[in-house]
Structure 1
């Protein structure tokens, strides 16, 4: 039996406009492979009732967060409604060294920062498109969570997000969630099997050569 050894973990970035199915697809991907870790963000906002540090978020003071940014300990970060959010580097690097993939549910700006980081060569980026803007708006309205004004704002933001589709390695149209899930699995399987992500191959081929020469 071939000992394939450990591979280096991947950083899987999945982005989409709100309502295109990113959260559902990310959940299904982790159900398919429970070894995939979800990147837990750090934030300066106060914990809400029932939230635990390290589960929903890493809750940090603004000074601590900014120090992490200065020290290069954040892969990406942004300020949203007065609070800072970002992806800590440490847990991601730990997962990579253990051969585990990390899944990021972030927007195009966060994805761009990670792709431009020192870990960029380990990134697999996937953008999820809706089948149409009409369908996207229908999904947002069917949620029954937002007012018409909020939905209009989300639709305007969606147009801006869609404009960045060409920056991603893969682009999927989520017309059928089952089919899109299978396409995600195919992408991840192929990326894991890339030659440069199989560190055991050099030694395996060396042994093949030695076996031939010994005959």
Structure 2
């Protein structure tokens, strides 16, 4: 097996490498490894994140029609390899929006949802968090106890989530809740978009 880049891959690698060298902020080694450090990196990297967004590189795997770069799997590998090698800042606060919410909406969302949510994810306007784990349900997500009961056109949700990174900054949560208590535990679970500004949502730090 030949692991060398093809001419096209080598050209793309050089493009990424030169872009990082020219545009990425120069940070101290180890910067951003804790919460307070990442906050500083976040402030210093706003211009860099904007440059990534202009090239569609905030969401390398998203199709171009939705604001992504439409990269092939190999291009994504090269991009990630060069970013890691250069220790270039990544927009970690957007990881759930870009990596989970966006792809879900692209495949399963309505056109109205795509038009509303996707541009805001890419612009960094809306931060998303993941509401899966619970005090009694971690790796065994099928044990989750959060329930959603239909109330007209809405659902009333009751329960707790834990280990929810950037919850305090997020506008939206990807939430798993049980909607059919009579179904086997691996079924009867629904995937919701929860507005974190809703009445009754309480976000508290663990420490």
TM-score (norm 1): 0.26
Larger RCO (CA within 8 A; separation ≥ 6):
1
More strand by share: 1
Q: Could you state the TM-score of these two structures normalised by the residue count of structure 2?
A: 0.27
User: Which structure dedicates a bigger proportion of its chain to helix?
Assistant: 1
